[in-house]
Amino acid sequence: MDLGLKDKISIVTGASRGIGRECAFELAKEGSAVLITARNEDLLSKTVAEIKKEGGSADFVSADLSTHEGCISVVDACIDKFGSIDVLVNCAGAAKGGDILDLDVSLIDDALGLKSYGYLRLAQMVIPYMKEKKWGRIINVAGGAGTSPTRGNIPTSLANITILNMTRAISDAVAGEGILINTVCPGMTNTQRARDIYEPRAKKEGRDVEDILSELGSSLPAGRICEPEEVGPVVAFLASEKCSYVFGSSIYMDGGARRSTP
């Protein structure tokens, strides 16, 4: 299927590894030029080289998206390099956890600052370019924890639920401008971040972290956790011409973990 992304210009944040990286590869494979960003310049450089090796068009800028200046630098770099912005995939940010009974509230500040506020700033900055064309797509990646709070995940849960509400509000504001804004909500995904999260538990229990991830996956209706390569095509569809009537929606990729309806 031709998604109509040839010659579109995309920004993908958090694209040095994991889900963001796979989103960048998928968009590039569909013909979009991609400006990727994260903090680790070495990983970004390697990702760009791999995209180009596969025939895609890509460049990168290292930036701290928890700051206004960092967000500006990404938008400016995309305009300088490619001349326009058609698609924004917000995927940056990883929050630390902690038990709610002794949680340092600064962890909530950190989570909101990078993920929620960074997503909002970038959306605000790219929308004027999309309005000029009467066409644009913004896809916010917000983990399933937004609707599944636990005593140990409140920083990331609050950041993600903020994104869900923000997506709805911005979508309402620009729906008449040809700009579609939606959210993809992955559950536990087979990334290095997942390993980093469960490594302390693995050490405490004297187990291999892979066993813990497998155990978590087996408890899901799907019987396994998500692969990052499975998220990229869904994001690419939401970024495409083929996606023409999906406004302010959230697509859950959590293996059936979410029990509420809708």
- pLDDT, one tens digit per residue, over 198-213 is 888 888 899 998 998 9
Predicted local confidence at residue 144, as pLDDT:
73
Predicted local confidence at residue 92, as pLDDT:
87
Predicted local confidence at residue 140, as pLDDT:
97
Predicted local confidence at residue 142, as pLDDT:
93
CA–CA dist 12, 240 (Å, integer): 14
Residues of the chain by 3-state class (helix, strand, coil), percent to 5: 50, 15, 35
50 Cα distance to chain centroid: 20
- Distant-in-sequence, close-in-space partners of 73: CB < 8 Å, separation ≥ 6: 61, 63
Lowest mean pLDDT among 82-86, 140-144, 192-196, 236-240: 192-196
* pLDDT for 261 beyond 70: no
Predicted local confidence at residue 3, as pLDDT:
95
- Average pLDDT estimate for 58-86: 97
Predicted local confidence at residue 201, as pLDDT:
82
Helix (H, G, I), strand (E, B) or coil at 126: helix
CA–CA dist 254, 222 (Å, integer): 8
Helix (H, G, I), strand (E, B) or coil at 239: coil
In contact, 136 and 244? CB cutoff 8 Å: no
CA–CA dist 116, 187 (Å, integer): 18
Which segment, 48-62, 103-117, 210-224, is predicted with the most confidence on average? 48-62
Burial (CB < 10 A; 0-12, 13-18, 19+), residue 72, is middle
20 Cα distance to chain centroid: 6
- pLDDT, one tens digit per residue, over 127-156 is 999 999 999 999 999 987 767 777 878 888
CA–CA dist 23, 31 (Å, integer): 13
Beta-sheet strands, E only, within 64-178? 87-90, 136-141
Q: Which two tokens stand for residue 230?
A: 């499975």
In this predicted model, which residue has the larger pLDDT, 53 or 113?
Answer: 53
- Average pLDDT estimate for 217-233: 95
- Distant-in-sequence, close-in-space partners of 170: CB < 8 Å, separation ≥ 6: 120, 123, 127, 138, 181
Q: Which domains, ranges and CATH numbers included, belong to the chain?
A: 9-187+227-252 (3.40.50.720), 190-225 (no CATH)
Q: Which of 262, 183, 259, 193 is nearest to 221 (CA)?
A: 259
Dihedral (Cα; 52, 74, 9, 130), 10-degree rounding: 170
Place of tokens 């973990």: 257
Average of per-residue pLDDT values in the chain = 93
Q: Which helix (H) or strand (E) holds 182?
A: strand 179-186
- Average pLDDT estimate for 109-113: 88
Predicted local confidence at residue 262, as pLDDT:
61
Predicted local confidence at residue 143, as pLDDT:
80
CA–CA dist 232, 116 (Å, integer): 21
